[in-house]
Amino acid sequence: MADRLDGTVALVTGASSGIGEATALALAASGASVALAARRVDRLDELAAKIRAEGGRALVIRADVTDEAQARGAVERTVAELGRLDTLVNNAGQMLLGPAVGAPLSEWQRMVDINVLGLLYCSHAALPHLLAAAESAPRRVADMVNISSVAGRVARSGSAVYNATKHGVGAFSEGLRQEVTGRHVRVSLVEPGGTRTELSSHNRPEVQETIRQRFADIDMLHATDIAEAILYIVTRPRYVAVNEILIRPTEQAN
Ligand SMILES: NC(=O)c1ccc[n+]([C@@H]2O[C@H](COP(=O)([O-])OP(=O)(O)OC[C@H]3O[C@@H](n4cnc5c(N)ncnc54)[C@H](OP(=O)(O)O)[C@@H]3O)[C@@H](O)[C@H]2O)c1
């Protein structure tokens, strides 16, 4: 049986599009107050209006989570304005693919900054609040959901640095899970396969073409498919921890 999330507060990073946006909507529909963090605040304002129109509570936070102070600020504003933090969805990320040989170093730096450091900054700031929420009503359990990727399981030519960042997310999540699970903070890893979002649009044109060809014959996942998996994780009763979900389009072999 799924629990509802009434009386709880969630922070979703990268809520301005794709998986983060769908997740924020799903969490709000299940009763959580939702803090929405990203850089494109116009998109967050639209999403907040939609959540409020459906009777939910939303807080818009402009934050570049690659900046430690802004990441910490997003967590602190969530707690200051919504009262607590029960659920952190570390979703903000970038995927910049292409051969490693001759790649622009700035792309590697951007991925490490957002996929690894951004996630770590948010996690560091959130942990004391998650631990506190796990000791209190209404649920006496708290969740950190880290969005990795199939790329966090399987490395591929043309994806080496994205693979490195997402494998890093997996390692951090498992180490942290073991550390805090006894205190009822559940750390979960979600590993999506090809999902129709804006993610690939930040690549150079020739790389976008390679990605397009790879997925041309595949019926890709929708952001809502991943949001449903996240909702499943965070609505389990207190004694159930879903550690990991790997979810691919059926036609995606690897
Ligand atoms: N789509 C897929 O096929 C797929 C597969 C596996 C894993 N994933 C993972 O799923 C997550 C979400 O991606 P998506 O597919 O939903 O792509 P998306 O639509 O491009 O969403 C990425 C989100 O991250 C935010 N973001 C990027 N840099 C940020 C920063 N410095 N500070 C704050 N927010 C930042 C973006 O918001 P702003 O630009 O407004 O800041 C946006 O909301 C990523 O971690 C990605 O690696 C996606």
DSSP per-residue string spanning 80-148? HHHS---EEEE-------S-STT--HHHHHHHIIIIIIIHHHHHHHHHHHHHHHTTSTTTS-EEEEEE-
Please list the ranges in the chain whose pLDDT falls under 50.
none
Binding site membership of 30 for ligand 1 (Cβ less than 6 Å): no
Q: What is the pLDDT of residue 21?
A: 98
Q: What is the pLDDT of residue 253?
A: 94
Q: What is the pLDDT of residue 243?
A: 98
Q: What is the pLDDT of residue 2?
A: 82
The span from the CA of 222 to the CA of 154, in Å, is 21
55 CA to middle of ligand 1, Å? 26
Q: What is the pLDDT of residue 3?
A: 87
- Residue whose CA lies nearest to ligand 1 atom number 17: 199
- Ligand 1, pocket-test mutation among 109, 199, 200, most atoms within 8 A of CB: 199
